[in-house]
Structure 1
Amino acid sequence: MHTSTTSTSPLEAWTAEQLQQATQGHWHNQKKPQTAVKRILTDSRHAEPGDAFLALQGERFDAHDFIEQVSKNGCEIAIVSHPVDADICQLVVADTRLALGHLGAYRRAQNSQLKVIALTGSSGKTTTKEMLGSILSRLAPTLITRGNLNNDLGVPMMLLELRAEHQYAVMELGASHQGEIDYTSQLVQPHVAGIINIGTAHLGEFGGRDGICTAKSEIYAHIAASGTAIIPAEDDFVDVIGQAVKSEQRLSFGTGGDVFATEVELLAQSAHFTLNTPQGTGQVNLPFAGAHNVSNATAACAFALALGIDLDDIVQGLQHAQGAQGRLNFIQHDKYLFIDDTYNANPTSMRAAGEVLAQQDGVRVMVIGDIGELGATAAQQHYMLGRDLVSIKGLNFIVAIGEFAPATQEGARSTQYGKKLQAFLTQEQAIPFLISLVETHQPQTMSFLFKGSRYTHMETLMADLMENL
Structure 2
Amino acid sequence: MLDLTLEEIVKAVDGNFITTNKNEHFEKVSTDTRKIEKDSIFFALRGENFNGNNYIKEAIDKGASVCIVDENKEEFLGYEANVIKVKDSKKALQKLAKYYREKLGLKVIGITGSNGKTSSKDILAAILGEKYTVFKTKGNFNNDIGLPLMILELDGTVDIAVLEMGMSNLNEIHLLADIARPDTAIITNIGLSHIENLKTRENILKAKMEIVDYFNERNTLIINGDDDLLDSVTSDSYKIIKTGLNDSNNIIAENVVLLKDHSEFEVNFQGQKVSFELPMLGKHSVQNCLLCIAAGNLLGLSLDEMNNGLKNIQSTSMRLEIIETDKITIVNDCYNASPSSMKAAIDVMKNIDGCRKIAILGTMRELGDESLNAHIDTGVYAKNNGIDLLLCCGEYSDGFKNGFSDEGCTVFQSKEQLIKALEELIKEKDVVLVKASRSMKFEEIVNELKKMNL
Q: Matched residues in 2 for 1:323 and 1:279: separation?
A: 31
Alignment equivalent of 2:429, drawn from 440, 445, 451: 445
Unaligned ranges ≥5, structure 1: 1-10
Pairs within 5 Å for 1:2-81: 11-28=1-18, 31=20, 33-81=22-70
Q: Matched residues in 2 for 1:433 and 1:360: separation?
A: 24
Pairs within 5 Å for 1:421-436: 421-436=409-424
1:365 maps to 2:347: no
Kindly provide the amino acid, as one letter, of the partner of residue 159 in structure 1.
I
Q: Matched residues in 2 for 1:266 and 1:231: separation?
A: 22
1:207/1:60 CA distance change after superposition, 3 Å: farther
Give the match's secondary structure for 2:34: helix
Pairs within 5 Å for 1:287-366: 287-362=279-354, 363-366=356-359
Kindly provide the amino acid, as one letter, of the partner of residue 120 in structure 1.
T
How far is 1:224 from its partner?
5.5
Pairs within 5 Å for 1:195-214: 195-214=187-206
Alignment equivalent of 1:454, drawn from 429, 433, 438: 438
Kindly provide the amino acid, as one letter, of the partner of residue 390 in structure 1.
K
Q: Matched residues in 2 for 1:431 and 1:23: separation?
A: 50
1:384 maps to 2:377: yes
How far is 1:269 from its partner?
1.9
Give the match's secondary structure for 1:135: helix
1:338/1:239 CA distance change after superposition, 3 Å: closer
Alignment equivalent of 2:408, drawn from 408, 417, 420: 420
Stretch deviating more after TM superposition (379-388 or 170-179): 379-388
Residue deviations 1:146-178, cap 9 Å, x none? 100111111110100111111111111111221
How far is 1:41 from its partner?
1.1
| Count, aligned residues | 446
Does structure 2 retain, via aligned residues, the 8 Å contact 1:189–1:224? no
Q: Matched residues in 2 for 1:141 and 1:421: separation?
A: 49
How far is 1:449 from its partner?
1.3
Residue deviations 1:5-62, cap 9 Å, x none? xxxxxx2343220111111111126x35343333221111233442221011123321
Unaligned ranges ≥5, structure 2: none
Q: Matched residues in 2 for 1:372 and 1:357: separation?
A: 23
Partner of 1:6: none
Partner of 2:209: 217
Does structure 1 retain, via aligned residues, the 8 Å contact 2:2–2:152? no
Q: Matched residues in 2 for 1:82 and 1:160: separation?
A: 23
Q: Matched residues in 2 for 1:34 and 1:286: separation?
A: 48
1:366/1:239 CA distance change after superposition, 3 Å: closer
Give the match's secondary structure for 1:352: helix
Q: Matched residues in 1 for 2:309 and 2:253: separation?
A: 16
Partner of 2:98: 105
Q: Matched residues in 2 for 1:452 and 1:354: separation?
A: 13
Alignment equivalent of 1:128, drawn from 120, 127, 150: 120
1:431/1:247 CA distance change after superposition, 3 Å: same
1:315/1:279 CA distance change after superposition, 3 Å: farther
Residue deviations 1:111-131, cap 9 Å, x none? 12x221111100111111100
Q: Matched residues in 1 for 2:218 and 2:97: separation?
A: 23
Q: Matched residues in 1 for 2:216 and 2:99: separation?
A: 17
Query: RMSD of the alignment, in Å?
Result: 1.8
How far is 1:466 from its partner?
2.2
Pairs within 5 Å for 1:255-274: 255=246, 256-274=248-266
Does structure 2 retain, via aligned residues, the 8 Å contact 1:14–1:39? no
Give the match's secondary structure for 2:418: helix
Does structure 2 retain, via aligned residues, the 8 Å contact 1:337–1:447? yes
Q: Matched residues in 2 for 1:22 and 1:364: separation?
A: 56
Kindly provide the amino acid, as one letter, of the partner of residue 270 in structure 2.
P
Give the match's secondary structure for 2:203: helix
Stretch deviating more after TM superposition (333-342 or 31-40): 31-40
